[in-house]
Amino acid sequence: MVSNQEKPIKSSSDLKDIILVFSIIIIVLVIAAFFDLFEYLSAVASNPEGFKIVELLFVFTLFGFAYGFFTRRRWKESNLQIKELELEYEEIKDNANRLKSTVDLSPDAIVVHRDSHVMFVNKAALTLFGVHAEEEIIGKEIKQLLHYSFYDIVATRIERMTKYMKQVPPLDIIARRLDNSYIDVSIASTPVYYHAIPHIITILRDITDRKKTEEIRSRLASIVLNSNDAIYGINLDGTIQSWNPGAERLYGYKEKEIIGLSASILSPDRNLKVVDYFFEKLEKGEKIESYETKQIKKDKNIIDASITVSLLKESSGITIGASAIARDITFKKRVEEELRRYAEELALSNEELYVFSYAASHDLQEPLRTIQAFINLLKEKHKKKLNKEVDGLIDSAEDGVIRMHRLITDFLMYSRVGSQAAVMEPTDCNLALKDALSNLEVTIKESKAVIKHLTLPKVRGNMVQLTQVFQNLISNAIKYQGEKPAQIEISAERRDCEWLFAVKDNGIGIEQWFSERIFIVFQKLHDHKKYPGSGIGLALCKRVIEKHGGKIWFESEIEKGTTFFFTLPVLEEKK
């Protein structure tokens, strides 16, 4: 199409063509006159046959000039049209490139399809579907890019748009990428005509993050609604904005009753300063967790509550309020008070028991000393006058006094473990073992026992009590040795967060069914005449080990020996 500005140019070109034609005619006439062509033609024309030739030649000349004139004009018009088409093509190409660049700048995926086949995609669509080049996706069926559950829905939408040429509402679907993975997208489609053929433009937006956010919000909302704790939200001026069923149960207010009221209604003194105090601490980055305070219910009853408060912020980081989680701890506080009172009573009772046991042991030993003194006096003054039967009775009485003295001493030691607060400090078990072996030096020499031990660790414990444990276990191993002298091995092995100690011997062994009874006070498995003792030693070991946070047990085979195991926590090193 030629514009108005191009018309004067065209008229000027036609005038030039006319001038050119006339110029050629004049030049031909001049040449003809110069070569006497007209005289020759006159001579020829005088002849009837010649005249026809001249006439014919004149006609051909005129036709030649007309044909040349119009051919040149047509050629010029064709060239002009070609140039115009080239300009239009370049303009269309530039517009298409600009449009494609604009489309490629879109963060949303754009797909153009016809007859359910992909005709065009932008760069965002390549990224969305996981392809690197347009050729990988152009020409594919739309259903190849969908989760199978959406085939019918999308096909119906395409049919409606193609038939009625009307836009359909947006829809959330699951798209299938070319690597067979799936992605949540929201699609918006509209039909358009291109060269009188219906096409559909679809815009796809990745909503994976939105779906995750919605899922999290839904889960959190479910947690809030089903929580037994009271959960409510307040704005910056302390007005209650949200109220869950747990809050209704705790405080007695229905949601419609309390929304819009000040949070101070929950404070016995109606003081809103505590809310300002919470916001001030939270803005400083401090945490408010398990803050114990008094709260008042709708029925005016006061309860103990533990409150945790956290700030509510917009995505921009601006604080818009706070959320509070409140839990009724009235019963817990009552129980704690009862436990505190019981603990005080128990501590007092233990102290009284310790005093009593100490006094009782002291008072009980006095008669024993008197009896022992009389027995010694009887043996010294009347030894020659008494027969063997009486001597045997005196020996039995003396043995009973010794046993009674041992029982009282061991019982006092056992009671001290439970009633006194032992000082717990880093303790080298090698030193505890060394003290135990020193205490048993005479017994070890007399029994010819052989004792081997590896390096033992440091633990947090009480030196005196751990020495008692080693001493009792080694003493038992020597006492219950077999026909051969006792072979005792002491070791320790770390297992995770505790040390496993082992005291192994080659003695007479213990029946496994005695595993519980053996650690009970005053329980003895053998005759006290053959194996003297009070039956408190292993009970004392069990009490000490449990006070140190461990446990004790044994493994044994009759006539082959016994291994006592006990555990103690690993000493935590200070950083």
pLDDT in tens, 70-107: 676 677 778 888 888 888 777 767 766 677 777 888 88
What domain range is 391 assigned to? Answer: 334-419
> What is the pLDDT, as a whole number, of residue 5?
47
Nearest to 240 by CA among 181, 306, 178, 321: 321
411 and 427 together in one domain: no
Q: Integer distance in angstroms from the first to the last C-alpha of the chain? A: 89
Q: What is the CATH number of the domain that holds 490?
A: 3.30.565.10
Q: Residue 220 falls within a domain, yes or no?
A: no
452 and 490 together in one domain: yes
527 and 436 together in one domain: yes
> What is the pLDDT, as a whole number, of residue 421?
54
435 and 461 together in one domain: yes
Q: Residue 222 falls within a domain, yes or no?
A: no
Q: Residue 574 falls within a domain, yes or no?
A: no
395 and 476 together in one domain: no
Give the chain's radius of gyration (CA, Å): 56
440 and 529 together in one domain: yes
- H helices of 178-310, in order, are 208-226, 245-251, 255-258, 273-283
Q: Residue 281 falls within a domain, yes or no?
A: yes
Please tell me the total count of domains within the chain: 5
Residue 417 CB-half CA count within 13 A: 27
Domain boundary among 74, 100, 126: 100
Q: Are 257 and 269 in contact (CB under 8 A)?
A: no
The answer, yes or no, to whether residue 529 has pLDDT greater than 60, is no
> What is the pLDDT, as a whole number, of residue 30?
65
Selection from 159-168, 312-321, 364-373, 536-545 with the highest mean pLDDT: 159-168
Give the largest CA-CA distance in the chain.
208
> What is the pLDDT, as a whole number, of residue 219?
86
162 and 29 together in one domain: no
Give dist(CA 195, CA 450) in Å, integer. Answer: 107
> What is the pLDDT, as a whole number, of residue 498?
94
515 and 402 together in one domain: no
Domain boundary among 379, 399, 419: 419
Q: Residue 221 falls within a domain, yes or no?
A: no
- H helices of 106-241, in order, are 123-129, 151-164, 208-226
Give dist(CA 205, CA 125) in Å, integer. Answer: 9
91 and 120 together in one domain: no
> What is the pLDDT, as a whole number, of residue 153?
93
pLDDT in tens, 360-388: 555 566 676 777 777 777 777 766 666 77
Beta pairing class for 302-313 and 288-296: antiparallel
478 and 563 together in one domain: yes
The answer, yes or no, to whether residue 245 has pLDDT greater than 70, is yes
Q: Are 324 and 308 in contact (CB under 8 A)?
A: yes
> What is the pLDDT, as a whole number, of residue 523?
53
Domain boundary among 313, 328, 343: 328
Q: Residue 117 falls within a domain, yes or no?
A: yes
The pLDDT confidence band at residue 315, using thresholds 50, 70 and 90, is: confident
The pLDDT confidence band at residue 1, using thresholds 50, 70 and 90, is: very low
pLDDT in tens, 218-237: 888 888 888 889 999 988 88
Task: Tell me which H or E stretch contains 504.
Answer: strand 498-504
25 and 143 together in one domain: no
Selection from 352-366, 376-390, 400-414 with the highest mean pLDDT: 376-390
> What is the pLDDT, as a whole number, of residue 270?
75
> What is the pLDDT, as a whole number, of residue 185?
94
Nearest to 146 by CA among 123, 172, 120: 172
Q: What is the CATH number of the domain that holds 153?
A: 3.30.450.20
Q: What percent of the chain has pLDDT over 70?
A: 74
Q: Residue 192 falls within a domain, yes or no?
A: yes
pTM above 0.85, yes or no: no
Q: Residue 241 falls within a domain, yes or no?
A: yes
Give dist(CA 158, CA 112) in Å, integer. Answer: 12
pLDDT in tens, 435-455: 889 888 888 998 899 999 999
The answer, yes or no, to whether residue 2 has pLDDT greater than 50, is no
> What is the pLDDT, as a whole number, of residue 280?
77
The predicted model gives 243-252 an average pLDDT of 92
Q: What's the gap between Cα 11 and its chain centre?
A: 83
What are the counts of helices (DSSP H) followed by strands (DSSP E) for the chain? 15, 17
Task: Tell me which H or E stretch contains 303.
Answer: strand 302-313
User: Which has more pLDDT, 502 or 558?
Assistant: 502
Nearest to 461 by CA among 347, 570, 350, 574: 570
434 and 411 together in one domain: no
